[in-house]
Structure 1
Amino acid sequence: MGKAESFDFSDMAKYNSDAELTPGNGKKGCFISVLVGILLFFLVVCLVIGVGLLVYFAGKDKNCSDASAGSESSSVAELIDKCKDLIDNGESSVCDTCRRTTTTIPSSTQSPSAILQNVRLPRAVLPQLYTVELQPNMYDGPPEMFTFNGTVRIRVKCHQTTNNITVHINKLNLTEKIRVTGVDPSDGIHYKNHETDTRRQFLIIYTNSPLLPGHYYDLDLSFIGPLKDDLHGLYLSSYKRNNQIVYAATTQFQATDLRKAFPCFDEPAIKAKFDITLVRKNHMTSLSNMPKISSESRGNGWIADRFNTTPPVSTYLLAFIICDFQYKEDMTANDVRYRAWARPEAVNQTEYALSVGTKILPYFENYFGIPFPLPKQDMIALPDFAAGAMENWGLITYRETAMLYDPQESSESNKQRVAVVVSHELAHQWFGNLVSPSWWDDLWLNEGFASFVEYMGVDHVHPDWKMFDQIVVEDVQDVFNFDGLVTSHPVYVPVAHPDQINEIFDRISYGKGASIIRMMRFFLGEETFREGLKKYLQNLAYKAAFHDDLWFALGNQSAHENKGLNVKEIMDTWTLQMNYPVVKVTVMADGSIQITQKRYLRDYGAVDPLKFVSPFNYHWEIPFTYTTKSNINFNVTDADIHWIHKTDTETISANVPGSDWILGNVMQYGYYRVTYSDDNWNKLINQLDEDHKVFHPINRAQIINDAWNLAKSEDISMTIALKTVNYLDKEKEFIPWKASLRELGYVDSMLERTALYGPFSNFMKKKVSGIFNSSSLSSSNMTHLESFVNTLIAAEACKYGIQSCIDEASRLFHLWMAKPTENPIRSSVRLTVYCSAIKNGDIKEWDFAYKMYQESNVAAEKSRLMIALSCSKEVWVLSRYLQYTKISSEIRKQDATNVIVYISGNAVGRSLAWDFVRSNWDYLLKEYGESSFAFPRLISGVSSSFSTEFEIKQLEDFLKSHPDMGSGTRAFQQAIEKTKSNIRWMDTNYDIVKQWLADQNFL
């Protein structure tokens, strides 16, 4: 297999588009005629065939020129054929456009007007070095008037003759005259005038004479911007100390927000070096990606800190912080200085994250065969942070709940959360930072890999946590639910506008990315996988990658080991089309196994509003494994795989006895569901009832998850799904319980407002009663995973009215109320106790919990209390709590949308939350509509239990009256689809569930 050229942006001459820019009419790609360009556009928009979007970094080298030569008279097909010929002939310098033309079929997520709106920067000049100085002014006056000011000098290299330099800018005002000067004094001063294109966030600076290829120029800009608490760009954070507000300036630049801090070339592939100076008051501390190298006084108590020059880095990975935080410090085994920063009041809570980080960083260094490339690694817990964490190179920023751990106050789940997030962000130091995606359409190369590798890091530190079992319920089964919709999207998806970029920071990029990488690791084998990753990272260090670069590295390693796997051909079926297959396994009369694949959809009648066309007609290359009753084997390897190719039906030679059960997708390594004849389903269910331990816990979870979701899609009867949980009162393992409660929780939400909810609650009470013991609310002698099971069971016991649970929760809570400084409740069950006491109490319990929420110095405890406060049955209390989300002094901005979603999960609060969202839509869109996470989750959260025709009409009417959904556009389309599916589930299964409950004497 030939290796496509990677992107080396140390010399962008090969990847330039045209040198000139007219707003709205920039071109990218191999040079072709206008006619061919129009044809290509209509092919993408109207036919959506596999020619790829010709809008990416294209080359002007000989091969690319050859492909497009004579294009005035060439047809589109001939142009594509020329590109194919270059690749097939093993050319090592094939232009990116040609390569993408033959490998990628995009989803049409953009409207035609969005496709025409070219948001990519021209490549005539590209940055080499930024020299930046920033000074946040947050010490005098009201915070709404806080600003920051700064200067930037961008040294650029010209690659094509041009009369303009175009950079990104957003929400900044220029304060001095722009200068464009040649580094060579003979080049003189070139600034002529400038204009802004606010739609594309462009600053276009025209020169009075052409800039010449090979020459270097300095662009000097001065600016001022607002320092707001909007959680994006360079923003304001705050916290209280002794009732006094303390301010900090911090940053979040992913995906397109460095342009809010200073003008720049704000695209992930356009890497450059940065010299950063931060100006602060003398009682504060400043941090950035690199170590501080000098400080100088600027007078009046101002200090300017200068930091060492960064290596070539993507703009979104920069970080600047000015604060009064303190740190704990340690050295890794490979002598990297590692510091963990937090508010002085919370710095002791950084010790666990520090201990985990210092173990995982050298583990990744050794695993990937590449030393951590920076001289230090800082991590910092911020009071205000939109995401969970951000992988800024050398200065990782965290939400406090994702980094701080107090052994006395935090639970086992809090501990695992910290370990997982630390591992995830450290994985990014290689996947994303060292090797970055060439554009946001390959975001999954960052997030999918980090979401898989995080399990490796935590497993290294805590092997007893069984992280590679947990991935099945935390990622694989979790994302199945999302990816079973026609409003899902492929892992690789073309994006342009920042709203579209923010939309794909979702479960597909993270969870599906992790799941298919896990599958790939399985079918390649661990050593092949590891060696291929090493080569990928080594070959592309400090550069930008397209997903084919990964396939080529892994494919070449597979070929080197004579494994005979075409990695690209396999993985294209998983990354270039959305959804996943359901595999039907049938044992034939002669003992052979017939395999049939089809696309799984939760609702086969749903209509895709985006009209995505699959390049493989929804067929996949499937690594199929199986085990049977008479030949049980759960220790499968890549040698046990039977490949099911892109066909409807295949037959596997075997000799399976007719009396045996057969189980497909052993350990659920494959990203697909499995179904069987009713006879085999019943054999599997009988085995669960007789001796469930015959199946590995992962496959017990798989049987339940597959059956319930195949019932949702009507691939099997709901009766079969219901029977898979009959054995649960004998189950002791976390993974099957987590899978079961996810599905039973769905039934709960569907039946909550019906006459069947009481009988269903009685069923749940019976299943939990055999396991729950009220003394477990106080017991602490448990392993990590035993604690997880105990927490799940306790929550269900109190929720479904087991009186001993409710009484014990009330007793413990009132003991706490009597002595607020001595909380007697074990941390892992505090949320259950808090929620039950507030739900079954009155306003005094709520007010006490809210007071404790405001006073707590432990982020995990604040988070538990914040959730528990949504458990009240009082409408007026929940309404007041909703109003608090608009007051940052009551509920932090980072938490506001979560609170709304928590309230919507309460049967009493569901309609309150939906009404609140609609009546405050303009405010929510303004405050959160640009968010990568908060806004889509708000929409999906408040609508998750909708299941009536009235509710679907409300959604559709609201969408008609509010067509601008910002980053929530896709989430709102998914909300409509899921609501329709819920309605269908109720129509189809209500009577089945009713009869089943009656048959078991619950009705």
Structure 2
Amino acid sequence: MSAGAPTTTKDPSEYRLPTNVKPTHYDVTVRTDLDKLKFDGFVTVHLNVKEDTTSLTFNSSELALGDLIVSSPSLQKPEVHPASKLTIDKTQERATIALASTLPAGSKAQLKVSFEGELTGSMMGYYRAAWEHEGKTKHYSLTQFEPTAARRAFPCWDEPLLKATFAVTLVSRENTVALSNMPAVSETQYNQNAEDKDGVVSWLTEKLAVAPETNTAPWKITKFDTTPPMSTYIVAFANGPFVYIEDSYTSPISGAKRPLRVYNHAATPDVIHQAQFALDVKRDVLPHYENVFGVEYPLPKLDTLVATDFDAGAMENWGLITGRTTAFLLDPNKQSLGAKKQIASTQSHEVAHMWFGNITTMEWWDNLYLNEGFASLMGEVIILDKIFPEWKVHAAFISGDLNEALDLDAKLSSHPIEVECPDANMINQIFDSLSYAKAASVLRMLSQYVGEENFLKGVSLYLKEHRFGNTVTKDLWEGIQQATGADIPKMMDNWVKKMGFPVVTVTETEDGITVRQDRFLETGAAPSEHNETIWTIPLNLLTVSADGKAVIDHKIVLDTREKFIPLDTSKPFKVNAGTIGVYRVLYTNERLVKIAEEAVKENSVFSLEDRIGLVLDAPALSQAGYVKTSSTLALVHVLRAETNRHRTELVIASMASSLEKLISTWWEHPEIKSKLDALRRQIFVPIVNRLGFDYHDGESVEDRQLRTDAINISANAGEQSVIKELTSRFDHFLKTGDSSRIPGDLEMVTYRMAVKYGGEAEYEKIVSIANKPPTPSSGNAAMIAMGQVQSDELVEKTWDYIMNKARDQNLIYMFIGLRSNPKYAKYGIKKFRENYDYFAERLAGNFGVTYIVQRTQSILSTKKDYEEMKAFFDTKDTSKYSMALQQTYDTILSRAAWIERSTDDIKEWLDANVKE
């Protein structure tokens, strides 16, 4: 059995910077040389001395430092320390200067140091991004500092608690654009005779005397306004030939009008219009955030920079959001609803961070969820629902975030939302579904329990109380408690501080129900040592009134192991109404059938969210052995009778997800997979026949999404009529170059079927799209499709592309493509392991290897696979992704146990109920 997240007994002084000094302000000057792919500069850090001090310790990594000058009114003259005298701790990425004199407590000091660094392609620190122009590779530069990479761009006190103000000066070529968190206050061409108040001109003159120029474009000096107090990880700057589109919004609080821009590199100026939707969303959500929080956005502008090379999805740098092309670009003439939702969700999430994370910041990374859980809940649900109510984001949250969180948290190798982070490796690993999706889910549960209005009022109090400050969990609880009067720590602490979540078992008697809580594990009933936590569970009990209406009691909680609740069990009832709670519910088979039969009635008391919860709980309970897996199939069978058209799409999508979970587990069992595919065809082909392949202006979001899902699933299930239609549309594109018959919503499935059922011509066409995609989503679809090949010759070509042509940020799409191809899934795993050292070096420092290990290896489903995988990774340094690796091991062992236990049961049900 695997253990949970590693715990530490380390004293914080072992991994946190000394508290003897605190930075208050940085003057940072950075020069960017895009020809030599280097940067240099100098920083002056203003310090408050908190204790008598004979040394200064700060963060620095991958930088060549010049002399360090320490000055203070308490020193008779500045001390100059050669960089060679620094004590360097490479593991903790720190440097320490031993001072010749004591800096007394209460005094002020300044540290000035010059630095040089390489603009690498690492996608962290200050790095280069590339694009092709007229056969040549061109570059621009940008930053990615979260969580611990500001120290790679300039020496600093690189911890969230150590907030300071920043005055950034960028030196760059005059034919480029310089960007930072704040607006530029001046921009002048370099002139060695110009007035030099801050030493930038004399520093640059000295640099140019040492290194003669080859580029004819003159240097310019761009000075940016000073920021409010902020953490180093959200400092940002960028330099390159950027173009932009712009808009503005008016603050509902002050009436101030603020400019909003989206920037992209200028090599393809015709692409910048694809950022219009992201700009519109940013403009529309900002006033909602101000109104909801009662706190005005405090910066004079909010830019977004679209990056061709970016490791994560997007980043909330204050005043300068950055992110992938897929996060912000959408072709208005060929937009898919999925891409639109993704962009709106990402942009709104990053804007939420302007408050959660930027104005108010966690004290240390163990409280990362205060940033990410809130940005997920506010940005992707509460605020987005105000802009796009037709998207039903509250219901979609259940099948997305909540289900994803429960799947990960059902493993023994999970970790608490609030988890110790004693080193950079651990910090990097907690950017996962628990810090994002589970945190958002428990906050959503709390919001429903106290009422959304009271919840948001408490959040507003919290933000105002800690404006420009740092916080821990109890600060948030105090704000919400003040607004509601409820005992928030009693309700919430175990949800945040303990690993896992409960399964609530419902047992019926004549006069009521007994509810019992135990920790839920995907491997089955939790042994006693893992079943100690008692959560305070809002039961959200739905019953039916005398006139047949649903009545929901939001206040009843289960805060003991068991509880009896009197009610009339002859009428419909349901625990976890609206699927608000972060738990699974286990009913008897008889009750589950009754709930399902009630759920499909025309005017059912059970909501869309109730149906989704039922469908998603079923396979999880089956996998853990609480119920037969055939009961999941039986539930899907009953819910096929869904009649309310406006509820259909999300329920059908959840049913598809449940079936997909079975197929991805039994993928190496052809006799079961073929029957499951036949069941999928029975459910989804009639929907394709009803809705057709063409999208129409004015049709409902539900119909549009339902058509997309039904075509995707039918094609994946081998429905020949659907495959024939998709491949004929691609054939038209292949012969004529006209892609108008392939709607944006169907690009992914069309490309995949074209490669799977086509030959070399189709494959080469897809490669050409991957090389030069008309839109970011087209490029991703093409890269995934390249994994659908059916011949050894073409799979070798795909592997060659992975090794020699794919961008680092896109490797994950290539591996996803291979993983989803039963013929070559294990080929992808084998090749990754054979070339592991190459990938570990290529992706050193970013999240790439973690993503690939999780996505490729987790398809495995036998104990033999597990043993081979473990034997391989036991020989590698896995410290940067140890948690993700352990979670993958758990997934494989759980799937293997499920197959062993349930294969006969599934086969028996399928043989009796599905005809191929």
Normalising to structure 2: TM-score of the pair? 0.92
SS of match in other structure, 1:109: coil
Within 2, Cα distance between the matches of 1:284 and 1:361? 29
**1:204-260: CA deviations, max 9, x gaps?**
011101011111111111111111111000000011233332210111000000000
Tell whether the 8 Å contact from 2:5 to 2:883 is kept in structure 1 after alignment. Answer: no
Match of 2:700 among 773, 783, 800: 783
Q: How does 1:578-657 map to 2 (within 5 A)?
A: 578-590=499-511, 592-604=512-524, 617-628=532-543, 640-645=554-559, 647-654=560-567, 656-657=568-569
Once the 2 structures are TM-superposed, how far is the Cα of residue 490 of structure 1 from its aligned partner? 0.5
**1:95-120: CA deviations, max 9, x gaps?**
xxxxxxxxxxx9861466x7698121
Matched, 1:246 2:138: yes
SS of match in other structure, 2:651: helix
Tell whether the 8 Å contact from 1:380 to 1:395 is kept in structure 2 after alignment. Answer: yes
Matched, 1:199 2:91: yes
Matched, 1:298 2:224: no
Tell whether the 8 Å contact from 1:124 to 1:162 is kept in structure 2 after alignment. Answer: yes
Once the 2 structures are TM-superposed, how far is the Cα of residue 586 of structure 1 from its aligned partner? 2.4
- Partner of residue 940, structure 1: 854
Matched, 1:749 2:664: yes
- Partner of residue 895, structure 1: 810
Opposite residue 445 of structure 1, the aligned amino acid is L
Tell whether the 8 Å contact from 1:536 to 1:549 is kept in structure 2 after alignment. Answer: yes
Once the 2 structures are TM-superposed, how far is the Cα of residue 886 of structure 1 from its aligned partner? 2.8
Once the 2 structures are TM-superposed, how far is the Cα of residue 183 of structure 1 from its aligned partner? 4.4
**1:745-802: CA deviations, max 9, x gaps?**
1211222221322222222211212212287222334322322111111001111122
**1:335-385: CA deviations, max 9, x gaps?**
111111113232111111111111101110111001100011001111111
SS of match in other structure, 1:756: helix
Q: For residues 569 and 386 of structure 1, do their structure 2 counterparts lie closer, same or farther at Cα, with a shift above 3 Å needed?
A: same
Tell whether the 8 Å contact from 2:691 to 2:707 is kept in structure 1 after alignment. Answer: no
Match of 1:905 among 820, 831, 851: 820
- Partner of residue 127, structure 1: 23
- Partner of residue 758, structure 1: 674
- Partner of residue 137, structure 1: 33
Tell whether the 8 Å contact from 1:835 to 1:869 is kept in structure 2 after alignment. Answer: yes
Within 2, Cα distance between the matches of 1:215 and 1:982? 62
- Partner of residue 114, structure 2: 222
Match of 2:237 among 312, 317, 320: 320
- Partner of residue 567, structure 1: 488
Q: How does 1:660-675 map to 2 (within 5 A)?
A: 660-675=571-586
Within 2, Cα distance between the matches of 1:309 and 1:901? 44
Tell whether the 8 Å contact from 2:28 to 2:43 is kept in structure 1 after alignment. Answer: yes
Once the 2 structures are TM-superposed, how far is the Cα of residue 729 of structure 1 from its aligned partner? 4.0
Opposite residue 260 of structure 2, the aligned amino acid is Y
SS of match in other structure, 2:444: helix
Tell whether the 8 Å contact from 1:885 to 1:897 is kept in structure 2 after alignment. Answer: no
Comparing 838-847 with 193-202, greater Cα deviation is found at: 193-202
Match of 1:738 among 653, 667, 674: 653
Q: How does 1:692-711 map to 2 (within 5 A)?
A: 694-711=605-622
Within 2, Cα distance between the matches of 1:806 and 1:967? 42
Q: How does 1:834-983 map to 2 (within 5 A)?
A: 834-887=751-804, 890-931=805-846, 933-962=847-876, 964-983=877-896
Q: For residues 631 and 226 of structure 1, do their structure 2 counterparts lie closer, same or farther at Cα, with a shift above 3 Å needed?
A: farther
- Partner of residue 815, structure 1: 732
Tell whether the 8 Å contact from 1:109 to 1:495 is kept in structure 2 after alignment. Answer: no
Q: How does 1:88-487 map to 2 (within 5 A)?
A: 109-110=6-7, 118-140=14-36, 146-174=37-65, 176-183=66-73, 186=76, 188-189=78-79, 191=81, 193-298=85-190, 301-334=218-251, 335-343=257-265, 344-454=269-379, 455-487=381-413
**1:708-732: CA deviations, max 9, x gaps?**
2111111122222221100354445
Within 1, Cα distance between the matches of 2:238 and 2:774? 22
Opposite residue 290 of structure 1, the aligned amino acid is M
**1:497-519: CA deviations, max 9, x gaps?**
11100110000000001101110
Matched, 1:796 2:713: yes
Within 2, Cα distance between the matches of 1:857 and 1:239? 14
Within 2, Cα distance between the matches of 1:692 and 1:493? 45
Q: For residues 339 and 631 of structure 1, do their structure 2 counterparts lie closer, same or farther at Cα, with a shift above 3 Å needed?
A: farther
Once the 2 structures are TM-superposed, how far is the Cα of residue 629 of structure 1 from its aligned partner? 5.9
Within 1, Cα distance between the matches of 2:548 and 2:141? 56
Match of 2:455 among 516, 526, 529: 529
Within 1, Cα distance between the matches of 2:8 and 2:792? 42
Aligned length: 872
Within 1, Cα distance between the matches of 2:819 and 2:11? 36
- Partner of residue 470, structure 2: 544
Once the two structures are aligned, what percentage of the paired residues are identical?
28
Q: For residues 635 and 134 of structure 1, do their structure 2 counterparts lie closer, same or farther at Cα, with a shift above 3 Å needed?
A: farther
SS of match in other structure, 1:133: strand
Opposite residue 171 of structure 1, the aligned amino acid is E
Within 2, Cα distance between the matches of 1:723 and 1:202? 59
SS of match in other structure, 2:850: helix
- Partner of residue 419, structure 2: 493
SS of match in other structure, 1:392: coil
Within 2, Cα distance between the matches of 1:713 and 1:630? 35
Within 2, Cα distance between the matches of 1:435 and 1:682? 48
SS of match in other structure, 2:888: helix
**1:416-454: CA deviations, max 9, x gaps?**
111100100000000000000100000000000000001
Tell whether the 8 Å contact from 2:126 to 2:142 is kept in structure 1 after alignment. Answer: yes
Q: For residues 822 and 983 of structure 1, do their structure 2 counterparts lie closer, same or farther at Cα, with a shift above 3 Å needed?
A: closer
Opposite residue 68 of structure 2, the aligned amino acid is I
Within 2, Cα distance between the matches of 1:295 and 1:898? 41
- Partner of residue 212, structure 2: none
Within 2, Cα distance between the matches of 1:160 and 1:227? 37
Q: How does 1:827-838 map to 2 (within 5 A)?
A: 827-838=744-755
- Give the root-mean-square deviation of aligned CA atoms: 2.2
**1:14-45: CA deviations, max 9, x gaps?**
xxxxxxxxxxxxxxxxxxxxxxxxxxxxxxxx
Once the 2 structures are TM-superposed, how far is the Cα of residue 325 of structure 1 from its aligned partner? 1.2
SS of match in other structure, 2:687: coil
Within 2, Cα distance between the matches of 1:532 and 1:107? 33
Q: For residues 321 and 373 of structure 1, do their structure 2 counterparts lie closer, same or farther at Cα, with a shift above 3 Å needed?
A: same
Once the 2 structures are TM-superposed, how far is the Cα of residue 554 of structure 1 from its aligned partner? 0.8
Once the 2 structures are TM-superposed, how far is the Cα of residue 686 of structure 1 from its aligned partner? 3.3
- Partner of residue 680, structure 1: 591
Opposite residue 187 of structure 2, the aligned amino acid is S
SS of match in other structure, 1:128: strand
SS of match in other structure, 2:14: coil
Tell whether the 8 Å contact from 1:930 to 1:966 is kept in structure 2 after alignment. Answer: no
Within 1, Cα distance between the matches of 2:297 and 2:547? 43
Opposite residue 811 of structure 1, the aligned amino acid is S
- Partner of residue 725, structure 1: 636
Tell whether the 8 Å contact from 2:695 to 2:704 is kept in structure 1 after alignment. Answer: no
**1:615-653: CA deviations, max 9, x gaps?**
x9221001112224666989766x5331111x2111123
Normalising to structure 1: TM-score of the pair? 0.84
Within 2, Cα distance between the matches of 1:302 and 1:511? 46
